[in-house]
Structure 1
Amino acid sequence: MRVLLDTSVLVPALVPALPQHEKAAPHLESALREETGLILSAHALAECYASLTALPISPQVTPGQARRLIEENVARAAEEIVELGPTDYLSALRRMTDLGLESGAVYDALHVACAEKASAEELRTFNGRDFRPMPPEGPTELVVL
């Protein structure tokens, strides 16, 4: 099964101190064992870095630790890292406009666009509030964990 995990799943999968770690970790571990084909949106790499280095935990995740966690776990587990072009970005903005959505939800729209572009079977997230108004089309199913 080809699955796109968004940042709301990836970050807690990497950090045992986060409350959703136990629920998130099996999704990344399945990809590391090659039981699931992990699809990543390219911008998820940057989102993970930003989130990891800003976590209010002690000790904090250093920039070097964040990079290693992403390279050694997230990027290594990925079957495919999907990059979007200008047309894809404009389509995501059109989707946002058509649905009356604003602000940071645009980054979630980019995850949706990547899942659709890669024909992922599922897009998994903990962030149902932002994703439910813009479910993916086609064969991709939104799964709120």
Structure 2
Amino acid sequence: MRAFLDTSVLVAAFYVDHPHHEPSFRLLADSKKGSACCALHSLAEVYATLTSMPQPRRVAGDQALLFIGSIRERLTLVGLSERDYAQMLESSAAGSVLGGGIYDAILGYCALKAGAQTIYTWNTRDFLRLPSAIASRVRRPDEAG
């Protein structure tokens, strides 16, 4: 797997007026199953974000599902097994990952499980706090290419 797209990239790809829309949309549009992926967990995060934004950016659930459908068509979806989760939690505790950082750890471990060479995110600061096997793969979408 070549590329892993995190939730921040997917949300930016949706909103045309988002400051990171262009590179995020280009990355998603150029993605194909088998060479690009995202975490199953990101689908829930995308849905939650799109349907809870302040108006006028909030979208209805059915609109969010249409976008999620396009993500599912373009990206391979990666989930963690029970054993994967246990290992991720143990590693995160040992590495002092606290609070909401665990959600970035879930995504990072999904990227490792998929064998992604690059993890694309706009949330680089938090991903760089994760173990080096994850942090060494982190790039912003405007660094793609």
Indicate the TM-score class for this superposition, using the shorter chain for normalisation: 0.7 to 0.9
Gaps of 5+ in 1: none
Calculate the aligned-residue CA RMSD, in Å: 2.0
Q: Secondary structure at the match of 1:126?
A: coil
TM-score, with normalisation over the residues of structure 1?
A: 0.87
Gaps of 5+ in 2: none
Counterparts of 1:48 and 1:3, CA distance in 2: 18
Residues 76-119 of structure 1, C-alpha deviations (whole Å, 9 max, x = no match): 101x2112111111111122211212111111101111111111
- Counterpart mapping for 1:1-145 below 5 A: 2-31=2-31, 34=32, 37-71=35-69, 73-78=70-75, 80-135=76-131, 137=133, 141-145=137-141
**After alignment, is 116-125 or 35-44 more displaced?**
35-44
- Structure 1 segments of 4 or more deviating over 3 A? none
Counterparts of 2:86 and 2:62, CA distance in 1: 33
Q: 1:40, 1:82 within 8 Å by CA — same for their partners in 2? A: yes
Counterparts of 1:108 and 1:117, CA distance in 2: 14
Name the amino acid aligned to 1:11.
V
Identity rate, percent: 34
TM-score, with normalisation over the residues of structure 2?
A: 0.87
Residues 5-33 of structure 1, C-alpha deviations (whole Å, 9 max, x = no match): 000100110111222112311110111xx
Counterparts of 1:119 and 1:131, CA distance in 2: 16
Q: Secondary structure at the match of 2:133?
A: coil
How many residue pairs get matched?
140
Q: Secondary structure at the match of 1:137?
A: helix
